[in-house]
Structure 1
């Protein structure tokens, strides 16, 4: 059995200014704070002699690989993303970075913000613009109805409010 994993499909390149700040802070934290600490730990562990049985050395090197991998990803991603900080002229239509309030068939309301794939957090009400629900909302207007196919069947929602 091979270890090959096909590359995951690229997400959209759009991000909010808040999302970009989070990615830049993570990159700075990893590169300026965490990596020097782990490097110092590995250096001290290497002085102790036998590295094959030295837990600090083994796990420190593993953590360095994880940090370097994440730093490479963040650096490349920050180069290719587009920060969307302008609000659209037509505020009655759903675009990227909109807060949308939906009402389902049972009358229950839920509020979501459409964000980029690097910053989505469903528990905080942030949907990736690549998700089926966000795709159904994009381009719709106030009081429009949308349909989303779910594993439990088709769900219908009405757009109750749009905020930017």
Structure 2
């Protein structure tokens, strides 16, 4: 199986979610199932079926997180030598070649991506175009709005 890249923060968030699912959500849904069973006929008991569905979701998410953590490769960019090269986990300041607007993105794992927070997936077109480039390089990215050019203004290892 391929190693899944994770930032230190991303791995911590997954561990926290796993802990919450196991210590809070799983016991709560087990209690809800027991209460629904006490109401009698399970065939027409909507509370029971909803609780069982929720239990399936929780167990599936637990298995997914455990798999990601066991196959994950945590990359701490702070421990990498600052070479100005774009690699997984770095924060990049880009300038749009058309209008000069600057945008800052951190290249993160799939689960951590949140474009509104400036976190882009390593699988995204922008990240794929940036990986391996250096400060001062210009990259062309195919976006839904067409081809865009960005200059890499700064690469931060934070």
* Alignment of 1:102 onto 2:121: no
Partner Cα distance (1:15, 1:91) in 2: 20
Alignment coverage as a number of residue pairs: 155
Shift of 1:11: 8.1
Partner Cα distance (2:147, 2:32) in 1: 54
Partner Cα distance (1:112, 1:151) in 2: 18
Higher fraction of helix? 2
TM-score by length of 1: 0.89
Q: List 4+ stretches of structure 1 deviating above 2 A.
A: none
Give the conservation status (yes or no) of the 8 Å contact 2:88–2:107: yes
Tell me the residue number matched to 1:56: 47
TM-score by length of 2: 0.92
Give the conservation status (yes or no) of the 8 Å contact 2:2–2:71: no
Shift of 1:88: 2.4
Partner Cα distance (2:56, 2:7) in 1: 29
* Alignment of 1:140 onto 2:97: no
Partner Cα distance (2:85, 2:67) in 1: 32
Range with greater deviation from structure 2 (17-26 or 147-156): 147-156
Shift of 1:54: 1.7
Unaligned runs of 5+ in 1: 1-9
Range with greater deviation from structure 2 (135-144 or 84-93): 84-93
RMSD: 1.5
